[in-house]
Amino acid sequence: MSGVAAGVLLLMGAEASDLTLAYGESSRPRICGAAPAGAAPAAPAGGASAWDRVRRQPLDQLCLGLARAQIRLDRDPAGTLTEATRMATDWPGRPEPLVLAARAQLRLGDAAASWGSWERARALGGDGGAEPRGDVSAAALRDAALAAVLTGHAESALRLYRRLVSLLDAWPDPRHVQRLYLEAAAAALRAGPTHFDEAAGYLSGGQVGATSTGLRAYAAGMLSLLDARRGAPRRAASVPSAPEIWRLVELVRAKKAPSYWPVVPPGEAEAIASLLVEAHSELDASELWDVYVSRLTGEAAADAAGLKFARDRQQRLRARAGGAR
């Protein structure tokens, strides 16, 4: 069977079953679906078959390429990027190839290029919104949010997470729902004091029904960070057990976070671990916090109030850790 024929079968199967891949990843792009209600019929009474609709679709090659690429994306992002670049050249007015390129670039570790592709895709919509014309899947929106997070676009990241928390049904694994809430809370914290209440709401959502001990500890650390930024007393009820805390510290230091943990900028997980471990070791807390302050200091768009808070705590920790030696 030829590649095109296989792609046609994939597209038809998706149309017939509304096939959905894991974590909100639709196998059928919107432009490749059936005509919307009220649209002019594509064929005389009696209707065209699925095969006829595919053959008559002006964007059939684009649809087939996008359908194949969604399956290939995670196992071959480099090849997917090559294909997305070709499709972007062939269909310069369409945002879908740029969205595909952005997702591949993120998997290849180039967040800056990924965000640039997202921005170009969004510009094709012409409305200045957070999403490209034609909408995208929940999984693609999360990729856009991660690209915004990793390139320091705090307000854009927060807008995208607001959209994502309205799409929680797209994430069947409860751990991924909790991860999304925690990423949204981190984005709200990063956006500054005016968004602290919003962060608290996301944290409440992330704590409900948490089944992973690692995520429970992570959520407790984020709650501690929120309280510390607000100047509020630490909530004793939210403090995890010592083994949970030390396990989180170990994973953060080893850069071996489970796949269902939130994705945050470098240094932010260290801040969370520092706040949790302080009651057990001020020296470890100081070392972890130094990583966080270093990241904030090198960030051009760092929240001034957040940086002052981080440096003040750094001085206190260093003084106490030095006296304990």
pLDDT tens-digit series, residues 201-246: 999 988 886 777 888 899 999 999 999 999 887 776 678 899 999 9
Q: Model confidence over 294-316: pLDDT tens digits? A: 999 987 767 788 899 999 999 99
Q: How confident is the model at residue 25 (pLDDT cuts 50, 70, 90)?
A: low
- Contact at 8 Å (CB) between 54 and 12? yes
Kindly state the DSSP code that residue 130 receives in the 8-state scheme.
S
- Contact at 8 Å (CB) between 52 and 24? no
Q: Answer whether residue 27 shows pLDDT above 50.
A: no
172 domain residue, yes or no: no
43 domain residue, yes or no: no
Q: Are residues 140 and 252 in the same domain?
A: no
293 domain residue, yes or no: yes
What's the pLDDT score for residue 306? Answer: 87
Give the lowest-confidence range in 36-45, 102-111, 247-256, 286-295.
Answer: 36-45
90 domain residue, yes or no: yes
Residue burial 96-127, b: 16+ Cβ < 10 Å; e: rest: bbbbbbbbbbbbeebbebbbbbbbbbbebeee
Q: Are residues 105 and 212 in the same domain?
A: no
How many structural domains does the chain have?
Answer: 2
- Residue 266 DSSP SS3: coil
- Average pLDDT on 22-41 reads 50
- In sequence order, which ranges of the chain are alpha helices (DSSP H)? 3-17, 50-56, 60-72, 77-90, 96-107, 111-123, 138-150, 154-164, 174-190, 196-207, 213-230, 242-254, 268-277, 282-297, 304-324
For 30, the token pair is 């919107």
For 237, the token pair is 């009820």
What's the pLDDT score for residue 169? Answer: 87
Gap between the Cα atoms of 233 and 227, Å rounded: 7
Q: Are residues 193 and 90 in the same domain?
A: no
What's the pLDDT score for residue 7? Answer: 39
160 domain residue, yes or no: no
Boundaries of domain holding 81: 1-32+52-127+134-151
176 domain residue, yes or no: no
Q: Are residues 8 and 108 in the same domain?
A: yes
44 domain residue, yes or no: no
- Surface-to-core class of residue 263, CB atoms within 10 Å of its CB (0-12 exposed, 13-18 middle, 19+ buried): middle
Q: Are residues 205 and 141 in the same domain?
A: no
Gap between the Cα atoms of 247 and 240, Å rounded: 11
Q: Are residues 139 and 233 in the same domain?
A: no
From residue 303, give the alpha-carbon distance in Å to each of 6, 229, 267, 292, 306.
Answer: 51, 12, 15, 13, 5
Gap between the Cα atoms of 186 and 202, Å rounded: 9
Q: Are residues 248 and 147 in the same domain?
A: no
* Closest among 86, 124, 81 to 106, alpha carbons compared: 81
- Cα-Cα-Cα-Cα dihedral of 243, 247, 253, 255, to 10°? -170
Q: How confident is the model at residue 124 (pLDDT cuts 50, 70, 90)?
A: confident
- Surface-to-core class of residue 38, CB atoms within 10 Å of its CB (0-12 exposed, 13-18 middle, 19+ buried): exposed
39 domain residue, yes or no: no
Q: Model confidence over 125-162: pLDDT tens digits? A: 644 455 665 457 889 999 999 999 999 898 999 999 99
pTM summary value: 0.81
What's the longest Cα–Cα distance across the chain? 86
Q: Are residues 192 and 145 in the same domain?
A: no
> For residue 88, what is the domain's CATH number?
1.25.40
Radius of gyration of the chain (CA): 23
Q: Are residues 5 and 111 in the same domain?
A: yes
Q: Are residues 324 and 190 in the same domain?
A: yes
Q: Are residues 308 and 230 in the same domain?
A: yes
Q: Are residues 75 and 212 in the same domain?
A: no
Gap between the Cα atoms of 194 and 131, Å rounded: 24
